[in-house]
Amino acid sequence: MPPSDGDRFVVVGGGIAGLVVARRLALAGRTVTLIDAGERLGGAVAPLTVAGVELDAGAESFATRSDAVPTLLHELGLHGDVVAPAAGSAWVHRADGRSVPLPAAGVLGIPADPGAADVRRAVGRVGAWRARIDRVLPARVGADAASVDALVRTRMGAGVADTLVAPVVRGVYSRDSRTMPVAVAAPRLPGLLRARGSLAAAVAALRADAPAGSLVGGLRGGMLRLSAALADDIARLGVDVRTGTAVTGIEPARAIAGDRELTGRVVLAASAPDAPPARPVTLVTLVVDAPALDAAPRGTGVLVAPGAGVAARALTHVTAKWTWVAEALPGRHVLRLSYDAAPKDAATTARSDAEAMLGVALPAPREVAVRTWSRAAHDARDLGMPRVGEAVAGTGLAAVVAHAESTASSLLAD
């Protein structure tokens, strides 16, 4: 008996969100077709080969604040290869050209204890003193702020907002903290602020609710293995996968792919028609022989405050952050710098920025790799069909996977 319309689904988009939805529907016995315009599944969770080693070209970790990704990895048989990053704080490159450790206890760069020594070191005594005023302000002050910057600037002042929060939001979300909605970055903060009486206490409560241990996890061999495992599993489950196929028409119950009309309930896991412009992010990966980096002088990486005088918005010292990469490339260091726009001379610009951020002279890189991705802008329009992916779920694998799983559950319940 052929499947009914209620049992047939067409997933448009083969990134992680599309793969998760397709897999969950297929596991429940539904007939699923997955279409992607590219030749490779997985989206930005992709491989990049440098110095003969496959590394992550995009997402390299997942937030452990939820169990969505760990549960998925367990189902795919990858849970035994979950690893935590090396201990050590990230740093912030300040507007005065100095780099300082990012305070240990915080959320989005917002400190749980504005009077802590590492907060004073980062923002100065005056900045820390201003931040402590948060403790005596009425809880209603700033509680209705629309942006992360407005909330923090009102409660804790410019020092924390510019030196700590702006570089973290820019580095993690590729967004300006002045336009980043609190509802997207930390939806629980306003409620906790009202309940606990201060922003610092709200941050402390958020951290107390987080799982013990590292706030992020990764996979030995790279998160790229997640894409491969999902692709293998949907093939095993009989999903009809069509890569290299552009979708030229889309409606809630049909999609035009190539020269064929596919019927079934459509799940949009790609950019919506007339979506807001995507934000480009360029990642420049350097492989260097630099004994000066053996001691990881700036921890696992450096975030950049506005006006700091470098083009990069963040640097990850990959071989200092992930032990498995250091083991694969003994004696060498991998640095990954992210940019809002592709630098004209990537090797020269990235090397110069890395020297300024790390405080050491670097030799010419042995290898340079450049990859540009498009980050979907927030787009919550109702298009009359289920939607998954970064534009509706938010940034990060934890958010994308959790939203895709929830959407699949709702579709199956229908």
- pLDDT, position 367: 96
95-153 residue pLDDT tens: 988 899 988 878 889 999 999 999 999 999 999 999 999 999 999 999 999 999 999 99
Q: What share of the chain is helix, strand, coil (3-state, %, to 5)?
A: 35, 25, 40
Residue 228 predicted with pLDDT over 70: yes
- CATH-assigned architecture of domain 279-375: Alpha-Beta Complex (3.90)
Query: Residues with Cβ < 8 Å from 229, sequence gap 6 or more?
Result: 76, 77, 78
Average pLDDT score over the chain: 93
- pLDDT, position 184: 82
Nearest to 278 by CA among 174, 393, 152: 174
How many other C-beta atoms lie within 10 A of the C-beta of residue 306? 16
Query: The domain 5-83+218-275+377-413: what is its CATH number?
Result: 3.50.50.60
Nearest to 147 by CA among 106, 177, 112: 177
Report the percentage of the chain scoring pLDDT > 90: 79
2 pLDDT tier (thresholds 50, 70, 90) = very low
The residue count of the chain comes to 414
Each domain of the chain, given as residue ranges in start order, spans 5-83+218-275+377-413, 102-208, 279-375
Q: Directed axis angle between helix 189-196 and helix 199-209, to 10°?
A: 120
The reply to whether 279-375 shares the fold of 5-83+218-275+377-413 is no
Alpha-carbon gap, residue 336 to 170, rounded angstroms:
15
- pLDDT, position 87: 83
Burial (0-12, 13-18, 19+ Cβ within 10 Å), 56? buried
Q: What is the mean pLDDT of residues 142-165?
A: 95
User: Helix, strand or coil for residue 6?
Assistant: helix
Partners of residue 139 on adjacent β-strands: none
User: Helix, strand or coil for residue 13?
Assistant: coil
Q: What is the mean pLDDT of residues 24-35?
A: 98
Residue 292 predicted with pLDDT over 90: yes
366 pLDDT tier (thresholds 50, 70, 90) = very high
* Residue carrying structure tokens 């790609």: 270
211 or 271: whose pLDDT is higher? 271
Q: CB of 15 within 8 A of CB of 42?
A: yes
Query: The domain 102-208: what is its CATH number?
Result: 1.10.3110.10
Residue 1 predicted with pLDDT over 50: no
Alpha-carbon gap, residue 186 to 207, rounded angstroms:
12
- pLDDT, position 66: 84
How far lies 210's CA from each of 203, 295, 367, in Å? 11, 30, 38
Partners of residue 373 on adjacent β-strands: 281
